[in-house]
Structure 1
Amino acid sequence: MATSRSGTRVAGVAGRALAYLESAKNLTGSAAALGGLALTFAGFAGTYWPVVVAGLYGAGALIAPPTRPPAPDFPDDPSSQLSSLRADLTTLREYLDQVDLPPAATKRIGALTKLLDGLLEPGWVSQALAQDPEGVHVLARAVHRDLPESVDAFVRTRWWTRMAPGQQDPEEQLERQLSVLQREVEALVAGLREAEEIRQQSHTRYLEDR
Protein backbone atom coordinates (compact mmCIF):
# COMPACT_ATOMS: atom_id res chain seq x y z
CA MET A 1 0.00 0.00 0.00
CA ALA A 2 2.83 2.38 0.96
CA THR A 3 4.67 1.43 -2.24
CA SER A 4 1.57 2.24 -4.28
CA ARG A 5 1.20 5.67 -2.67
CA SER A 6 4.93 6.34 -3.17
CA GLY A 7 4.66 5.35 -6.81
CA THR A 8 1.66 7.65 -7.24
CA ARG A 9 3.56 10.58 -5.71
CA VAL A 10 6.57 9.92 -7.98
CA ALA A 11 4.31 9.78 -11.02
CA GLY A 12 2.65 13.03 -9.94
CA VAL A 13 6.00 14.78 -9.52
CA ALA A 14 7.20 13.46 -12.87
CA GLY A 15 3.99 14.63 -14.53
CA ARG A 16 4.31 18.12 -13.08
CA ALA A 17 7.98 18.28 -14.11
CA LEU A 18 7.12 17.23 -17.66
CA ALA A 19 4.29 19.77 -17.79
CA TYR A 20 6.68 22.53 -16.69
CA LEU A 21 9.24 21.54 -19.32
CA GLU A 22 6.55 21.96 -21.96
CA SER A 23 5.16 25.17 -20.46
CA ALA A 24 5.43 28.64 -21.98
CA LYS A 25 7.38 29.81 -18.91
CA ASN A 26 10.14 27.26 -19.41
CA LEU A 27 10.28 27.76 -23.17
CA THR A 28 10.47 31.56 -22.85
CA GLY A 29 13.05 31.33 -20.05
CA SER A 30 15.14 28.88 -22.06
CA ALA A 31 15.08 31.17 -25.09
CA ALA A 32 16.24 34.07 -22.92
CA ALA A 33 18.97 31.89 -21.39
CA LEU A 34 20.20 30.96 -24.87
CA GLY A 35 20.44 34.66 -25.57
CA GLY A 36 22.58 34.97 -22.44
CA LEU A 37 24.87 32.20 -23.70
CA ALA A 38 25.19 34.02 -26.99
CA LEU A 39 26.25 37.14 -25.11
CA THR A 40 28.77 35.06 -23.16
CA PHE A 41 30.33 33.65 -26.33
CA ALA A 42 30.44 37.16 -27.75
CA GLY A 43 32.46 38.23 -24.73
CA PHE A 44 29.91 40.55 -23.12
CA ALA A 45 29.10 38.55 -19.95
CA GLY A 46 32.62 37.95 -18.71
CA THR A 47 33.17 35.87 -15.59
CA TYR A 48 29.59 36.55 -14.43
CA TRP A 49 28.04 34.62 -17.32
CA PRO A 50 26.28 32.05 -15.04
CA VAL A 51 24.50 34.91 -13.23
CA VAL A 52 23.57 36.54 -16.53
CA VAL A 53 22.20 33.29 -18.00
CA ALA A 54 20.24 32.45 -14.84
CA GLY A 55 18.91 36.00 -14.58
CA LEU A 56 17.75 36.02 -18.20
CA TYR A 57 16.07 32.64 -17.73
CA GLY A 58 14.22 33.93 -14.65
CA ALA A 59 13.19 37.12 -16.43
CA GLY A 60 11.90 35.15 -19.40
CA ALA A 61 9.94 32.80 -17.17
CA LEU A 62 8.37 35.76 -15.36
CA ILE A 63 7.18 37.56 -18.47
CA ALA A 64 5.73 34.43 -20.08
CA PRO A 65 1.93 34.13 -19.86
CA PRO A 66 0.76 31.74 -17.15
CA THR A 67 -0.64 28.35 -18.05
CA ARG A 68 -4.42 28.70 -18.39
CA PRO A 69 -6.55 25.58 -18.16
CA PRO A 70 -9.48 25.57 -20.59
CA ALA A 71 -12.77 26.74 -19.12
CA PRO A 72 -15.53 24.10 -18.94
CA ASP A 73 -17.76 24.13 -21.99
CA PHE A 74 -21.32 24.03 -20.68
CA PRO A 75 -24.13 23.79 -23.25
CA ASP A 76 -25.89 27.15 -23.50
CA ASP A 77 -28.32 26.27 -26.27
CA PRO A 78 -31.84 26.73 -24.79
CA SER A 79 -33.12 23.77 -26.84
CA SER A 80 -30.53 21.51 -25.20
CA GLN A 81 -31.50 22.86 -21.79
CA LEU A 82 -35.17 22.10 -22.46
CA SER A 83 -34.34 18.52 -23.48
CA SER A 84 -32.47 18.08 -20.20
CA LEU A 85 -35.35 19.67 -18.28
CA ARG A 86 -37.83 17.15 -19.72
CA ALA A 87 -35.77 14.30 -18.30
CA ASP A 88 -35.36 16.13 -14.99
CA LEU A 89 -39.11 16.71 -14.75
CA THR A 90 -39.66 12.96 -15.14
CA THR A 91 -37.23 12.37 -12.26
CA LEU A 92 -39.06 14.99 -10.18
CA ARG A 93 -42.40 13.28 -10.83
CA GLU A 94 -40.98 9.97 -9.62
CA TYR A 95 -39.86 11.69 -6.42
CA LEU A 96 -43.22 13.39 -5.87
CA ASP A 97 -45.06 10.09 -6.33
CA GLN A 98 -43.18 8.69 -3.33
CA VAL A 99 -44.09 11.55 -0.97
CA ASP A 100 -47.19 11.45 1.22
CA LEU A 101 -48.76 14.88 0.64
CA PRO A 102 -52.07 16.44 1.70
CA PRO A 103 -54.85 16.17 -0.94
CA ALA A 104 -54.88 19.93 -1.57
CA ALA A 105 -51.12 20.00 -2.14
CA THR A 106 -51.31 16.95 -4.40
CA LYS A 107 -53.98 18.66 -6.51
CA ARG A 108 -51.99 21.89 -6.79
CA ILE A 109 -48.77 20.03 -7.65
CA GLY A 110 -50.71 18.15 -10.34
CA ALA A 111 -51.84 21.43 -11.88
CA LEU A 112 -48.32 22.85 -11.67
CA THR A 113 -46.62 19.85 -13.28
CA LYS A 114 -49.29 19.86 -15.99
CA LEU A 115 -48.28 23.42 -16.85
CA LEU A 116 -44.62 22.40 -16.87
CA ASP A 117 -45.41 19.44 -19.12
CA GLY A 118 -47.21 21.70 -21.57
CA LEU A 119 -44.35 24.17 -21.75
CA LEU A 120 -41.71 21.46 -22.17
CA GLU A 121 -43.64 19.39 -24.71
CA PRO A 122 -41.49 19.02 -27.85
CA GLY A 123 -42.88 21.15 -30.64
CA TRP A 124 -43.70 24.76 -31.41
CA VAL A 125 -44.48 25.63 -27.75
CA SER A 126 -41.04 24.63 -26.49
CA GLN A 127 -39.51 26.30 -29.56
CA ALA A 128 -41.19 29.56 -28.55
CA LEU A 129 -39.98 29.06 -24.98
CA ALA A 130 -36.43 28.49 -26.24
CA GLN A 131 -36.46 32.09 -27.52
CA ASP A 132 -36.96 33.32 -23.93
CA PRO A 133 -33.80 32.57 -21.87
CA GLU A 134 -35.39 34.07 -18.74
CA GLY A 135 -38.39 31.76 -19.15
CA VAL A 136 -36.08 28.75 -19.47
CA HIS A 137 -34.36 29.90 -16.28
CA VAL A 138 -37.71 30.12 -14.46
CA LEU A 139 -38.59 26.56 -15.44
CA ALA A 140 -35.15 25.21 -14.55
CA ARG A 141 -35.33 26.88 -11.15
CA ALA A 142 -38.80 25.46 -10.49
CA VAL A 143 -37.84 21.91 -11.48
CA HIS A 144 -34.35 21.77 -10.01
CA ARG A 145 -34.79 23.71 -6.78
CA ASP A 146 -38.05 25.40 -5.86
CA LEU A 147 -40.55 22.54 -6.13
CA PRO A 148 -38.38 19.74 -4.66
CA GLU A 149 -37.18 22.05 -1.86
CA SER A 150 -40.77 23.02 -0.96
CA VAL A 151 -41.85 19.39 -0.74
CA ASP A 152 -38.75 18.23 1.14
CA ALA A 153 -39.01 21.10 3.64
CA PHE A 154 -42.66 20.17 4.23
CA VAL A 155 -41.79 16.52 4.91
CA ARG A 156 -39.04 17.43 7.38
CA THR A 157 -41.06 20.14 9.14
CA ARG A 158 -44.12 17.91 9.41
CA TRP A 159 -42.08 15.26 11.23
CA TRP A 160 -40.74 17.80 13.73
CA THR A 161 -44.24 19.24 14.22
CA ARG A 162 -45.55 15.80 15.10
CA MET A 163 -42.79 15.45 17.68
CA ALA A 164 -43.32 18.94 19.09
CA PRO A 165 -46.18 21.04 17.67
CA GLY A 166 -45.10 24.48 16.49
CA GLN A 167 -46.83 27.75 15.82
CA GLN A 168 -47.00 27.36 12.04
CA ASP A 169 -48.86 24.71 10.08
CA PRO A 170 -46.46 23.04 7.61
CA GLU A 171 -49.37 22.28 5.27
CA GLU A 172 -50.25 25.96 5.11
CA GLN A 173 -46.66 26.90 4.33
CA LEU A 174 -46.53 24.31 1.55
CA GLU A 175 -49.79 25.62 0.10
CA ARG A 176 -48.42 29.16 0.04
CA GLN A 177 -45.20 28.07 -1.64
CA LEU A 178 -47.00 26.03 -4.29
CA SER A 179 -49.38 28.91 -4.93
CA VAL A 180 -46.44 31.26 -5.57
CA LEU A 181 -44.78 28.75 -7.90
CA GLN A 182 -47.98 28.22 -9.84
CA ARG A 183 -48.49 31.97 -10.28
CA GLU A 184 -44.92 32.30 -11.48
CA VAL A 185 -45.36 29.60 -14.15
CA GLU A 186 -48.77 30.99 -15.13
CA ALA A 187 -47.15 34.41 -15.59
CA LEU A 188 -44.61 32.77 -17.91
CA VAL A 189 -47.44 31.19 -19.92
CA ALA A 190 -49.22 34.55 -20.10
CA GLY A 191 -46.03 36.23 -21.33
CA LEU A 192 -45.59 33.68 -24.11
CA ARG A 193 -49.25 34.06 -25.09
CA GLU A 194 -48.86 37.85 -25.18
CA ALA A 195 -45.82 37.53 -27.43
CA GLU A 196 -47.85 35.43 -29.87
CA GLU A 197 -50.73 37.92 -29.76
CA ILE A 198 -48.34 40.77 -30.57
CA ARG A 199 -46.94 38.75 -33.45
CA GLN A 200 -50.45 38.11 -34.77
CA GLN A 201 -51.41 41.77 -34.45
CA SER A 202 -48.23 42.85 -36.23
CA HIS A 203 -49.10 40.55 -39.11
CA THR A 204 -52.62 41.98 -39.23
CA ARG A 205 -51.24 45.54 -39.48
CA TYR A 206 -48.81 44.45 -42.16
CA LEU A 207 -51.63 42.97 -44.24
CA GLU A 208 -53.85 46.02 -43.75
CA ASP A 209 -51.06 48.45 -44.63
CA ARG A 210 -50.19 46.46 -47.71
Structure 2
Amino acid sequence: MNITTNFGAPMRNSVRLAGMILCAATLAFTATACGGNTEAAKDNASSQETHREASRGQAITAVDPWIKAAGAGDTHAMTAAFMTLKNSTDDPVELVSATVEGAELIELHETVADDHGATIMRKVDGGFEIPAQGERILEPGGEHIMLMELSADFVAGDVVDITLGFASGEELVVPATVREFSGAQEEYAHEETAKQGEHGHEDHDSDH
Protein backbone atom coordinates (compact mmCIF):
# COMPACT_ATOMS: atom_id res chain seq x y z
CA MET A 1 0.00 0.00 0.00
CA ASN A 2 2.79 2.34 0.90
CA ILE A 3 4.47 1.60 -2.36
CA THR A 4 1.28 2.32 -4.23
CA THR A 5 0.69 5.54 -2.25
CA ASN A 6 4.27 6.74 -2.67
CA PHE A 7 4.12 5.95 -6.39
CA GLY A 8 0.75 7.61 -6.84
CA ALA A 9 1.84 10.98 -5.36
CA PRO A 10 4.67 11.60 -7.81
CA MET A 11 2.38 10.62 -10.66
CA ARG A 12 -0.22 13.17 -9.56
CA ASN A 13 2.50 15.83 -9.29
CA SER A 14 3.73 14.91 -12.78
CA VAL A 15 0.22 15.15 -14.19
CA ARG A 16 -0.27 18.50 -12.47
CA LEU A 17 3.06 19.78 -13.83
CA ALA A 18 2.25 18.52 -17.31
CA GLY A 19 -1.12 20.24 -17.11
CA MET A 20 0.53 23.53 -16.14
CA ILE A 21 3.00 23.24 -19.00
CA LEU A 22 0.20 22.43 -21.43
CA CYS A 23 -1.84 25.38 -20.15
CA ALA A 24 1.10 27.74 -20.51
CA ALA A 25 1.76 26.45 -23.99
CA THR A 26 -1.89 26.90 -24.85
CA LEU A 27 -1.86 30.49 -23.56
CA ALA A 28 1.30 31.24 -25.50
CA PHE A 29 -0.20 29.78 -28.67
CA THR A 30 -3.42 31.74 -28.15
CA ALA A 31 -1.51 34.97 -27.65
CA THR A 32 0.54 34.29 -30.76
CA ALA A 33 -2.55 33.37 -32.74
CA CYS A 34 -4.34 36.51 -31.58
CA GLY A 35 -1.33 38.60 -32.47
CA GLY A 36 -1.22 36.98 -35.88
CA ASN A 37 -4.91 37.59 -36.40
CA THR A 38 -4.48 41.22 -35.37
CA GLU A 39 -1.67 41.72 -37.86
CA ALA A 40 -3.66 39.91 -40.52
CA ALA A 41 -6.68 42.09 -39.74
CA LYS A 42 -4.54 45.21 -40.01
CA ASP A 43 -3.10 44.04 -43.32
CA ASN A 44 -6.57 43.19 -44.58
CA ALA A 45 -7.96 46.57 -43.47
CA SER A 46 -5.06 48.34 -45.13
CA SER A 47 -5.62 46.36 -48.31
CA GLN A 48 -9.32 47.18 -48.29
CA GLU A 49 -8.61 50.88 -47.72
CA THR A 50 -6.12 50.88 -50.58
CA HIS A 51 -8.74 49.20 -52.76
CA ARG A 52 -11.32 51.81 -51.74
CA GLU A 53 -8.90 54.62 -52.56
CA ALA A 54 -8.19 53.05 -55.94
CA SER A 55 -11.91 52.60 -56.54
CA ARG A 56 -12.54 56.25 -55.72
CA GLY A 57 -9.80 57.19 -58.14
CA GLN A 58 -11.57 55.16 -60.85
CA ALA A 59 -15.09 56.25 -59.87
CA ILE A 60 -15.32 58.95 -62.55
CA THR A 61 -13.71 58.39 -65.92
CA ALA A 62 -13.60 60.59 -69.01
CA VAL A 63 -13.95 58.84 -72.34
CA ASP A 64 -12.57 60.44 -75.53
CA PRO A 65 -11.91 63.94 -74.13
CA TRP A 66 -11.08 66.52 -76.81
CA ILE A 67 -10.95 70.26 -77.47
CA LYS A 68 -11.77 72.05 -80.70
CA ALA A 69 -8.69 73.71 -82.19
CA ALA A 70 -8.74 77.50 -81.89
CA GLY A 71 -6.35 80.41 -81.70
CA ALA A 72 -6.14 83.16 -79.10
CA GLY A 73 -6.40 85.69 -81.92
CA ASP A 74 -9.53 84.18 -83.44
CA THR A 75 -12.79 86.10 -83.49
CA HIS A 76 -14.29 86.02 -79.98
CA ALA A 77 -11.38 83.74 -78.92
CA MET A 78 -13.58 80.85 -77.80
CA THR A 79 -13.57 77.09 -78.07
CA ALA A 80 -15.10 74.10 -76.26
CA ALA A 81 -14.22 70.77 -74.68
CA PHE A 82 -16.17 67.56 -75.06
CA MET A 83 -16.12 64.07 -73.53
CA THR A 84 -18.30 61.36 -72.04
CA LEU A 85 -18.19 61.23 -68.25
CA LYS A 86 -18.89 57.84 -66.69
CA ASN A 87 -19.81 57.28 -63.04
CA SER A 88 -19.19 53.79 -61.66
CA THR A 89 -20.44 54.59 -58.13
CA ASP A 90 -23.89 54.06 -56.64
CA ASP A 91 -24.38 57.79 -56.05
CA PRO A 92 -24.83 60.67 -58.49
CA VAL A 93 -21.83 62.96 -58.95
CA GLU A 94 -22.02 66.60 -60.03
CA LEU A 95 -19.46 68.34 -62.24
CA VAL A 96 -19.42 72.01 -61.25
CA SER A 97 -16.27 73.54 -62.75
CA ALA A 98 -13.26 73.12 -65.00
CA THR A 99 -9.91 74.80 -65.47
CA VAL A 100 -7.65 74.75 -68.52
CA GLU A 101 -4.37 76.57 -68.93
CA GLY A 102 -4.75 79.05 -71.76
CA ALA A 103 -8.42 79.85 -71.08
CA GLU A 104 -9.13 82.67 -68.63
CA LEU A 105 -12.88 82.04 -68.38
CA ILE A 106 -14.51 78.60 -68.39
CA GLU A 107 -18.20 77.82 -68.02
CA LEU A 108 -20.46 74.79 -68.28
CA HIS A 109 -22.88 75.38 -71.15
CA GLU A 110 -25.94 73.84 -72.70
CA THR A 111 -27.32 74.45 -76.18
CA VAL A 112 -31.02 75.21 -76.48
CA ALA A 113 -33.45 76.81 -78.92
CA ASP A 114 -34.94 80.18 -77.99
CA ASP A 115 -38.51 81.34 -78.67
CA HIS A 116 -37.56 82.37 -82.20
CA GLY A 117 -35.95 79.06 -83.10
CA ALA A 118 -32.41 80.36 -82.90
CA THR A 119 -29.78 78.23 -81.21
CA ILE A 120 -28.64 79.69 -77.92
CA MET A 121 -25.60 78.62 -75.95
CA ARG A 122 -26.43 79.18 -72.29
CA LYS A 123 -24.47 78.92 -69.07
CA VAL A 124 -25.77 76.15 -66.80
CA ASP A 125 -26.79 77.04 -63.27
CA GLY A 126 -25.24 74.54 -60.88
CA GLY A 127 -23.51 71.82 -62.85
CA PHE A 128 -23.80 68.61 -64.83
CA GLU A 129 -25.07 65.67 -62.78
CA ILE A 130 -23.62 62.30 -63.72
CA PRO A 131 -26.13 59.66 -62.60
CA ALA A 132 -25.18 56.69 -60.44
CA GLN A 133 -23.85 53.85 -62.61
CA GLY A 134 -24.47 56.10 -65.59
CA GLU A 135 -22.90 58.65 -67.90
CA ARG A 136 -23.24 62.20 -69.19
CA ILE A 137 -22.29 63.08 -72.73
CA LEU A 138 -20.72 66.44 -73.53
CA GLU A 139 -20.82 66.86 -77.30
CA PRO A 140 -21.00 69.42 -80.10
CA GLY A 141 -24.50 70.82 -80.37
CA GLY A 142 -25.29 69.82 -76.78
CA GLU A 143 -23.79 70.25 -73.34
CA HIS A 144 -20.13 71.20 -73.27
CA ILE A 145 -17.35 72.94 -71.37
CA MET A 146 -16.92 76.42 -72.86
CA LEU A 147 -13.41 77.90 -72.97
CA MET A 148 -13.37 81.68 -73.37
CA GLU A 149 -10.94 84.58 -73.25
CA LEU A 150 -8.19 82.44 -74.70
CA SER A 151 -4.63 83.46 -73.85
CA ALA A 152 -2.99 80.62 -75.79
CA ASP A 153 -3.51 78.80 -79.06
CA PHE A 154 -5.09 75.36 -79.01
CA VAL A 155 -3.27 73.60 -81.84
CA ALA A 156 -4.52 70.35 -83.36
CA GLY A 157 -2.49 67.43 -82.11
CA ASP A 158 -1.59 69.03 -78.79
CA VAL A 159 -2.67 67.41 -75.53
CA VAL A 160 -4.08 69.78 -72.92
CA ASP A 161 -4.97 68.95 -69.31
CA ILE A 162 -8.50 69.77 -68.19
CA THR A 163 -9.00 69.81 -64.42
CA LEU A 164 -12.59 68.88 -63.63
CA GLY A 165 -14.02 70.02 -60.30
CA PHE A 166 -16.87 68.19 -58.58
CA ALA A 167 -19.37 69.27 -55.93
CA SER A 168 -17.67 66.90 -53.47
CA GLY A 169 -14.50 68.97 -53.70
CA GLU A 170 -12.64 66.24 -55.60
CA GLU A 171 -10.84 66.93 -58.85
CA LEU A 172 -9.98 64.85 -61.90
CA VAL A 173 -7.24 65.80 -64.36
CA VAL A 174 -8.16 64.76 -67.90
CA PRO A 175 -5.68 64.90 -70.81
CA ALA A 176 -7.64 66.12 -73.83
CA THR A 177 -6.47 66.02 -77.44
CA VAL A 178 -6.93 69.16 -79.54
CA ARG A 179 -8.68 68.44 -82.85
CA GLU A 180 -9.71 70.31 -85.94
CA PHE A 181 -13.49 70.27 -86.22
CA SER A 182 -15.14 71.47 -89.42
CA GLY A 183 -18.59 71.64 -87.83
CA ALA A 184 -17.54 74.44 -85.51
CA GLN A 185 -17.43 77.36 -87.91
CA GLU A 186 -20.39 79.25 -86.50
CA GLU A 187 -20.21 82.78 -85.14
CA TYR A 188 -20.24 83.27 -81.39
CA ALA A 189 -22.04 86.61 -81.22
CA HIS A 190 -23.11 87.99 -77.86
CA GLU A 191 -26.72 89.12 -77.94
CA GLU A 192 -27.50 92.35 -76.15
CA THR A 193 -30.97 91.11 -75.31
CA ALA A 194 -29.86 87.69 -74.11
CA LYS A 195 -29.56 86.77 -70.47
CA GLN A 196 -26.19 87.16 -68.85
CA GLY A 197 -24.10 84.12 -69.73
CA GLU A 198 -25.95 83.41 -72.99
CA HIS A 199 -24.48 83.63 -76.49
CA GLY A 200 -26.28 83.50 -79.83
CA HIS A 201 -25.22 81.19 -82.64
CA GLU A 202 -25.43 82.49 -86.19
CA ASP A 203 -25.23 79.06 -87.79
CA HIS A 204 -27.92 76.44 -88.32
CA ASP A 205 -26.15 73.23 -87.35
CA SER A 206 -25.61 74.25 -83.69
CA ASP A 207 -22.20 72.54 -83.56
CA HIS A 208 -19.39 74.08 -81.49
Higher helix share: 1
TM-score using structure 2 length: 0.21
TM-score using structure 1 length: 0.21
Indicate the structure whose relative CO is greater, using CA pairs within 8 Å and at least 6 residues apart.
2
